A and B are shown apart, each in its own frame.
Chain A
Amino acid sequence: MVPLENYLVLSAIVFALGVYGVLARRNAVLVLMAIELMLNAVSLNFIAFAAYLDPGKITGAIFAVFIITVAAAEVGLALAIVIRLFRNRATSNVDEAAILKW
C-alpha cells in the first residue's frame, strides 16, 4: 500500500515547482499556470489527508472541492485582467508592467 508520506512528498515537489514557476516566469499566463500547479498540490495534500487520517469526516475532500472552484474562478478573473492589461499595454509580461514602483 502506498504510504501517506508519498502523496505528501509528491505534492511538496509539485508545489515547489509551482513556486519556482511563479518566481521565474515572465508571462502572466505562465505565472497563472504555476499557481494552478500549487493549488493542485494543495488539494492533493488535502485529499490525501482526508483519505488517510480523516476517513469519517473527509473534511479535506470538501476543502479540495472548494479549492478547485476558487481556482477555476481565479483563473478566469486573472485571465480577464491579463487581457485587459494586454489591451492597454500590448504586453502580458509581468515584469514589463512596472510603471508603479518605488
Chain B
Amino acid sequence: MATEVLWWIFAAAIVAFSAGTVFSRSVLHSAIFLIGSLAGVGAMYLFLTVEFLALVQFLIYGGAVTVLILLALMLTRSDARGTPDAVNGPQLPFALLVGGGLMAVLIGVAAGTDWRPGGIPDSPTNIGIETISERLFADFGAPFVIASALLLVALVGAIILARQEEGE
C-alpha cells in the first residue's frame, strides 16, 4: 500500500521535474529540474527492485551527465552582451501540439495493449545484481565490447573536437 502511495508521489515528481526541464525559462533551472527528473527515474528503478541500475542512474546521470551539462552551460553562456536570449523557439505551439499528440498515442499504446497474453503475475520480480552481471558479461559480451569501442570513439571525438587549437 505504502509503496503505491510513494510511487504516485514519485511519479508526480518525475512528471513535474521533466515538465520543469522543458518548460522553465532559465537554462540553469532546467538543468536542476533535469537532475530531479533523472533522480526520480532512478527511484522508479528502486520500485522495480533493480537497485544496481538505480545506482548507476544516480552516479552516471545525477553525477556525470548533469555536471557535464552544467559545465557546457557555463562554457556557452551567450549573454556576454548581458541579455539572456529566449530559450524557446518560434514553433513552440506546434511543439505542444505534436508533443501532446505523441503523448496521446503512446499512452494509448501503453494502456491499450494486452501485455500479458500468457497471464503472467502482475508484479515486478527482483532483478539481482548477479543476474545482471551474469547476463551482461556472459551473454552480452559482444555488445559490451562494441560499447567499449563506442566509448573510445566518443572519448577521442570529444577530445579532438573540443581541444583548443592555437589561434583560438
Which residues of A pack against B, CB within 8 Å?
1-21, 23-30, 32-34, 36-37, 40, 43-44, 47-48, 50-53, 55, 57-59, 61-62, 64-66, 68-77, 79-84, 86-87, 90-93, 95
**With A26-B89, A51-B48 in contact, is A71–B123 under 8 Å at CB?**
no
Residue in A40, A69, A77 whose CB lies within 8 Å of B38:
A40
**With A20-B96, A23-B94, A72-B60 in contact, is A87–B168 under 8 Å at CB?**
yes
In the complex, A38→B24 CA distance in Å? 17
Contact B69 A80 (CB under 8 A): no
Which B104-139 residues sit within 8 Å CB-CB of chain A?
A: 106-107, 109-111, 115-116, 120, 122-125, 127, 131-132, 135-136, 139
**With A21-B21, A48-B48 in contact, is A65–B76 under 8 Å at CB?**
no
In the complex, A45→B132 CA distance in Å? 17
In the complex, A95→B147 CA distance in Å? 32
Contact B41 A73 (CB under 8 A): no
Bitwise, B23-56 to A at CB < 8 A (1) or not (0) is 0000100110010011001001101111001001
- 18 more A-B residue pairs beyond the given contacts A19-B99, A72-B61, with a C-beta to C-beta distance below 8 A: A1-B4, A1-B123, A8-B110, A9-B107, A11-B110, A17-B21, A17-B103, A20-B98, A23-B89, A23-B99, A24-B22, A24-B92, A25-B22, A47-B45, A50-B127, A68-B61, A77-B158, A84-B162
Number of A-B contacts (CB under 8 A): 248
CB neighbours of B96 from chain A (8 A): 20, 24
Nearest residue (CB) in B for A55 is B125
**With A27-B87, A52-B124, A90-B78 in contact, is A40–B69 under 8 Å at CB?**
no
